[in-house]
Structure 1
Amino acid sequence: MGLTGKLVAAIEFRAGGDVFHELFTHKPHHVSTTTPEKIQSCDLHEGEFGKVGSVLFWRYTHEGKEKTAKQLIQAIDEEKKSIEFKMLEGDLMKLYKDFLITLHIDTKDGIDLVTWTLEYETLHDDVEHPISLLSFFIDMTKDIENHHLQKA
């Protein structure tokens, strides 16, 4: 039996939380233009961008290796600026029984925070916690911020 875990990181995003939420919810296929070293593509396999029940297929580079992820958009809350991606297939599913990525924008005292939450269950006790993946998301958030600040 595997271990369950939850990792959370909140990163200040100076380019506007609405921009970040819009990008991942309605235009994830544009993420590769903002951080091409990390994300190579996001293709729609089923449904519509920005709709619950849609399936996305990502190509990305993590730890120097090309990887893939097939995800179901499980939930979207426009008011709370959150989206949940349930992992269906891909490299992560070789190590984890379940994997849920939640992306949420919080605004406190005029500061937008991008919060990444990874909830998972490993296939075996010896599988590492996905700390490097959380770091990947933090770095990707910074890349996207820099891209949008340079445009402004």
Structure 2
Amino acid sequence: MSLKGKVESEIEIRAPAEKFYNFFKGQSHQAPTATPTNIQGIEVHEGDWESHGSIKLWKYSVEGREETFKERVELDEANKTVSLIGLEGDIFNYFKTWKPVFKATPKDDGSGSVANLTIEYEKLHDGVADPKAYIEFMTSIAKDVDDHIMNPNNA
């Protein structure tokens, strides 16, 4: 059995791909406001809020557990993709590598976008369950961020 894997989710969102991407690229400091049940805080440890290679520490809750995740952000402007390369955190009690990816693609009809959410991982051993709760967590974040972006009071 392979220890490496990938879980994915795809949801339709109302926000334009550019706005969704820009939220994760340079406005992630708003995540605790946009999705307070999921994200409790984010701090920049190196770099800034919007530069490729910046390092941030996320404080979040998944399945009622409070956890932390330190990541280095990789930005792909052309493909509207933000990858969070895991460096430290609670997730590494179960996984050797951890890479959540948020990608937005405009819909062909021009009415919003499709958010592609992916986690690429390598388990520490074959007794570790697939990270289904974490892809559901990312889906919840994406929905909340979409609502936040599309709320005229947040413009």
Shared fold, TM over 0.5: yes
Q: Which residue of 2 aligns with 1:27?
A: 27
Q: Is the 8 A contact 1:2 1:124 kept in 2?
A: no
Q: How many residues align?
A: 151
Which stretches of structure 1, 4 residues or more, deviate above 4 A after TM superposition? none
Shift of 1:95: 0.5
Counterpart in 2 of 1:81?
Answer: 80
Tell whether 2:125 aligns with 1:124. Answer: yes
1:30-109 matched pairs, under 5 angstroms: 30-73=30-73, 75-109=74-108
Could you tell me the TM-score, scaled by structure 2's length?
Answer: 0.91
- Asked if 1 retains the 8 angstrom alpha-carbon contact of 2:34 and 2:144, the reply is yes
From the superposition, tell whether residues 31 and 123 of structure 1 become closer, same or farther in structure 2 (CA, over 3 Å). same
5+ residue gaps, structure 1: none
Could you say what the CA RMSD is over the residues aligned between the two structures, in angstroms? 1.6
What letter corresponds to residue 95 of structure 2 in structure 1? Y
**Residue deviations 1:47-101, cap 9 Å, x none?**
122212210000001101111000011x211121111111011111110001111
Q: Quote the Cα distance in structure 1 between the aligned partners of 2:150 and 2:77.
A: 23
Q: Which blocks of at least 5 consecutive residues in structure 2 are unaligned?
A: none
Residues 2 and 123, structure 1, Cα contact 8 Å, conserved in 2: no
TM-score using structure 1 length: 0.92
Measure the CA separation in 1 of the matches of 2:133 and 2:94: 14
Identity value in percent: 34
Query: How far did residue 146 of structure 1 move?
Result: 2.2
